[in-house]
Structure 1
Amino acid sequence: MVEKNLSAAVIEAYQAMSWWELLAVVLALAYLLLAMKEHISCWYAAFISTSIYVFLFWDVNLLMESALQIYYLAMAVYGWWQWRHHQNSAQDLAIHRWSLKTHGLVWFALCGLTLGSGYWLQQSTQAALPYLDSFTTWGAVITTYMVARKVLENWLYWIIIDGASVYLYIDRELYLTAILFVLYVVLVVFGFFQWYAIYKQQPNTVK
């Protein structure tokens, strides 16, 4: 029964997807795999993928997610510039960690932003799942900045955000994107351990 349900879900995802969604998914996956290897070309894949998702999310009334893609476009340029500017230089941008205090402040701000924008969307727009949409959007805003600055814990943030996004995309019938984010949840775990191994090998690093 489980295998039958899984097969039905895969077939449903294939039938529901558009070629634009397929291209966006492939490029989004390429971004993650390249980011795991600290390869600067990950930002090219991110830029093109998010350009497509701007329209896909708007079309299914995920307004915050659509707006998030505009931010992603800017962050793709910023991330590329950061990684390129510090590449092979004395001021190389190294993988580093944030303090518990910083993480606490970040989550406090994330909860406040989620409640504020979620309430506004619920009262003023036709946005679907306004609070969940807001949480995944603001969480992704913060975590994408962490990737650009090579903060190690970004991978742990992504586990929570990507997991919440799976339900969001299933609800909006973006099944292929939902499957992508299930895969993301698995890959970000590997991404964390890969970056952590690099982090431990860096000089002057507190293990």
Structure 2
Amino acid sequence: MLELFQQGFSGLMQQSGWELIAVALAIAYLVLVIRESRWCWPCAFFSTAIFSWVFFDVSLVMESLLNVYYMVMAVYGYWCWQKHNGAAKEKQANLSISFLSFSQHLYAITLIAVLTLVSGYFLSEHTQAAWPYLDSFTTWGAVVTTYMVARKIFENWLYWLVIDSVALYLYWDRELYATALLMMLYLVLVVVGIYTWSRQIRRPPIDESALA
């Protein structure tokens, strides 16, 4: 284990400046998601723009395409978190944390599994992509889960626990050590996110009329 960390640290020192910038922005993104700040989405946009190139450069084709999708979702997420309430354009409506039903979870998991098998098979037969099935799983899982983040669905954190764990292995294998260490930090922040959003759900709503 010590040798793995030494290898990772040595590799980290050799990573490109662009990858380190993308990692820093990605950390800022997740910290701001936990705080339910809309500024998480600009951080996500610029981070994923950089990662799109980084992953393509190491033959993680699906991960590269995923980050293009992240860029689009960053715009959508900002719009969702910034929406106005009805005709009162000057007043921002907070998007409430919500939950999925069992049938919705079943649909989401089935969709991820089917898309993973289809794209994994295609990549393995027609491209030189590394780890086509794992690459496909993290990609399609993140596609679904990022939408859940944009809609503030609580279980997104549970999905990320699985996705980030698999992604950690992928990035380490491709010698993207800075990004692999980011996934380690993400796993810690996911636990923080679960705790923080759980407290937010239990917190009683503020009576704004009493503050007028």
For normalisation by structure 1, the TM-score amounts to 0.92
Aligned-residue offset at 1:202: 5.2
Q: Is the 8 A contact 2:82 2:92 kept in 1?
A: no
Q: Name the counterpart of 2:161.
A: 159
User: 2:190 matched to 1:192?
Assistant: no
The one-letter code matched in structure 2 to 1:54 is S
Q: 1:87-143: per-residue Cα shift (whole Å, max 9, x none)?
A: 785853100100111101110111001000000000011110000000000000001
- The unaligned stretches of length 5 or more in structure 1 are none
Q: Is the 8 A contact 2:59 2:128 kept in 1?
A: yes
Q: 1:165-197: per-residue Cα shift (whole Å, max 9, x none)?
A: 001001111011001101101110110111111
Aligned-residue offset at 1:11: 2.8
- The unaligned stretches of length 5 or more in structure 2 are 206-212
CA distance in structure 2 between the partners assigned to 1:36 and 1:53 by the alignment: 22
Q: Is the 8 A contact 2:9 2:177 kept in 1?
A: no
Q: Name the counterpart of 1:30.
A: 28
Q: Name the counterpart of 2:95.
A: 93
CA distance in structure 1 between the partners assigned to 2:180 and 2:84 by the alignment: 34
Please point out which of 128, 131, 134 is paired with 1:132: 134
CA distance in structure 1 between the partners assigned to 2:102 and 2:199 by the alignment: 21
For normalisation by structure 2, the TM-score amounts to 0.90
User: 2:175 matched to 1:177?
Assistant: no
CA distance in structure 2 between the partners assigned to 1:7 and 1:185 by the alignment: 17
Aligned-residue offset at 1:148: 0.3
Please point out which of 48, 57, 60 is paired with 1:62: 60
Against the structure 1 CA distance between its residues 49 and 170, is the aligned structure 2 distance closer, same or farther, given a 3 Å change threshold? same
CA distance in structure 2 between the partners assigned to 1:149 and 1:6 by the alignment: 37
Aligned-residue offset at 1:199: 1.5
CA distance in structure 2 between the partners assigned to 1:144 and 1:163 by the alignment: 16
CA distance in structure 2 between the partners assigned to 1:152 and 1:42 by the alignment: 17
User: 2:125 matched to 1:123?
Assistant: yes
Against the structure 1 CA distance between its residues 19 and 151, is the aligned structure 2 distance closer, same or farther, given a 3 Å change threshold? same
Aligned-residue offset at 1:6: 5.3
CA distance in structure 1 between the partners assigned to 2:123 and 2:4 by the alignment: 34
Backbone CA RMSD of aligned residues: 1.6
The one-letter code matched in structure 1 to 2:49 is S
Residue aligned with 1:115, SS: helix
